[in-house]
Every structure is written in structure tokens, then in C-alpha cells.
Amino acid sequence: MDHAADTFRTDLMTITRHVLNEQSRHPESRGDLTILLSHIVLGCKFVASAVNKAGLAKLTGLAGETNVQGEEQKKLDVLSNEVFVNALVSSGRTCVLVSEEDEKATFVDPKLRGKYCVCFDPLDGSSNIDCGVSIGTIFGIYMIKNQDTVTLEEVLQPGKDMIAAGYCMYGSSCTLVLSTGNGVNGFTLDPSLGEFIMTHPDIKIPPKGKIYSVNEGNAKNWDTPTAKYVEKCKYPTDGSSPKSLRYIGSMVADVHRTLLYGGIFLYPADKKSPSGKLRVMYEVFPMSFLMEEAGGQSFTG
Ligand code: AHG
Ligand code: MN
Ligand code: MN
Ligand code: MN
């Protein structure tokens, strides 16, 4: 006879339980990071639900404004940003917030201030919203250095000083990948429970991969070493098989696949974007933190 545990998971490692476990490694901690992360998780659940009914709830299409990156904002960019700003401020654990969709950093009212700074991309992969392809949210968390005089310096810290980073992918299932500096774990949203359950413990990127991921439409503007590298992926000179190309155009989805299957994801500098298109504070640093925590590498050209 089937035992229930063969069919159902009965000992559920929710994301909250996991973060509390991690916290117990730091006896001095007072649970602030756990509270902050639970507010981020709430934001992710809200966006997951909005993404699921985007077409039905008239959430596709443009909002009518342009963001500081010069991009036309989608309705879901604006909605997700509002949800995360509210969730982060109301956690009472943040002091400075930086979002892709806000021109200026948000300095939290001193009455609600906490010790964390969060840089985030509320909705990554906006161009994929209207056709139902995977999109995501990216966040990186720093500890404030000087709580008395809070300045922008707090969010201009080196990426390696992050204390936690993660992303949530709204894909065929909703997956949240998190590191608090002690490896990387993946959680899948169980919609019937409304909880993220650990499904990918201790993620390590495979040491070798067969996939490269890049927008090759930009090739004419690449520098020679980049062009040569990609050429070698297609025409290897060492007798190995050519690599497969996969490119979704949502960094979260492209990085998630790279983390699980191995390989390389790149957005090289080109003549159009001399430092690359991706934004350091809320795209590159958090993803690099996760990649390195998973045993991979992250570098600039
Ligand atoms: P966002 O939707 O947050 O503005 O980010 C888009 C980014 C990133 O998700 C993706 O990797 C990259 O832009 C895709 O750019 P191309 O369309 O130029 O390939
Ligand atoms: Mn954008
Ligand atoms: Mn993005
Ligand atoms: Mn975005």
C-alpha cells in the first residue's frame, strides 16, 4: 500500500523555516532578515498572481511612462514596483531602496527605518510579459553601515558585500532562488498552500555546460574577443561538439537555466551599450552573488 509520504511531501521546508534555520547559526540575530525576506516573498507572491492573470486583468501593455533607463514602462513594471516598495517599507527593516523603475532612491521614513538596503528589479524581462514568456524579480540586500546619517553611499557598496540576494522566476512554475551567503537554495511556490517549498537544496552549477546564452543580434557591435568566443561556441576547434544556443531575453530565466543546466550567459559590452546593457546594482550584482555562491563565476569581459 502507498504510504502518504510517497505521494505527498509531508515534512515541508518552507522558505520561512529555512531562513529561520539559517538565522539560528547567528545567535546574535534578532530575526530582522527573516522579517525582511518574508515581505519580499509576499511581493513575489503578489506579482506571481498578477502575472498569472495578466491577460485577463488587463495587465498587459504599456503604462504610458518612461523610466530613468529610457525604457517605456509596462503596466506590470509599475504595479510590481509599487508592491515591492510598499512591502519593503512596511517591513520596518529597510532604510534605502533602489529600484529600476524609480529615478531616485527611496529613503525610508526614520520612524519605519531598519538596517537593510535593498536594490531590486521588480519585473525583469518586461519585453516577455505580453506573450506569456518567463519573467522575474531580482533583489540584493546590503546591511547599512551608518544608521545615523543614511546616504546614497549605503547602496553603492561592492557586490561582494551583499548579505543576501535572490530572484523569483514567474515561469511554468514560480521559483524563488535565494542565498544568504551560505550556498544557494531554490523554492517552488505551491499555489494551493501559498507557500514556497524547498525543491532545489544547495544548488551547484554543473562544472561544464553545453549551452551558451547571448543576444546574437548584437554581434555586429561586439569587440573581437567576444565575437571570437561566440564563434568558438558554434565552431569548436578542439574537436568538441558545438554548444546549443538558448536565449529568452529575461535575465532571470536565462540565469536560472544556466544555474541548473550549466553553460554561460553573457550580455557583452557593445558599441550601443559600451558597459553592457545590464544594470550593475539590481541585475548584475545579485545574480553574480548567486552564481558565485553556487560555485560558478561572474566577470566583465
Ligand atoms: P528589464 O525587463 O528589467 O528592463 O530587463 C531586461 C534585460 C534582461 O532581463 C535581459 O537579459 C536583457 O534585458 C535582454 O536584452 P535584449 O532584449 O537586448 O537581448
Ligand atoms: Mn526595464
Ligand atoms: Mn531586468
Ligand atoms: Mn525590470
pLDDT of residue 1: 57
Q: Which domain does 68 fall in, by range?
A: 15-202
- Would the ipTM clear 0.90, i.e. be above it? yes
Q: Is residue 85 in a domain?
A: yes
Q: Which ligand is the nearest neighbour of the Cα of 69?
A: 2
pLDDT at 252 over 70: yes
- Give the mutation target among 101, 245, 278 for probing the ligand 1 site: most ligand atoms within 8 A of CB: 278
Give me the pLDDT at residue 56, please: 86
5 found inside a domain: no
Give the pLDDT confidence of 5-28 residue by residue, as tens digits. 678 888 999 999 999 999 888 778
CATH number of the domain residue 125 falls in: 3.30.540.10
Domain count, the chain: 2
Is 113 in the same domain as 175? yes
Percent of the chain at pLDDT > 90 equals 86
Mean pLDDT of 54-80: 92
Mean pLDDT, the chain, integer: 94
Same domain, 198 and 110: yes
At 110, is the pLDDT very low, low, confident or very high (cuts 50, 70, 90)?
very high
Check residue 5 and give its pLDDT: 66
What mean pLDDT is predicted for residues 217-232? 96
DSSP for the chain? ---HHHHS--S--BHHHHHHHHHTTSTT--SHHHHHHHHHHHHHHHHHHHHHTTTTTT--SEEEEE-TTSPEEEHHHHHHHHHHHHHHHHTT-EEEEEETT-SSPEEPPGGG--SEEEEEEEEE-GGGGGGT--EEEEEEEEE-S-SSS--GGGGSS-GGG-SEEEEEEESSSEEEEEESSS--EEEEEETTTTEEEEEE-S----SS-SEEE--GGGGGGS-HHHHHHHHHHHS-SSSPPPPEE---S-HHHHHHHHHHH--EE-----SSSTT-SS-IIIIIHHHHHHHHHTT------
pTM (predicted TM-score): 0.96
CATH number of the domain within which 219 lies: 3.40.190.80
Same domain, 156 and 100: yes
- Residue 7 within any structural domain of the chain: no
- Residue pLDDT, tens place only, 229-242: 999 999 999 999 99
Q: Is 154 in the pocket of ligand 1 (CB under 6 A)?
A: no
For ligand 1, atom 6, which residue shows the shortest CA distance? 125
Q: Report yes or no on 300 lying in a domain.
A: no
Q: What is the CA radius of gyration of the chain?
A: 20
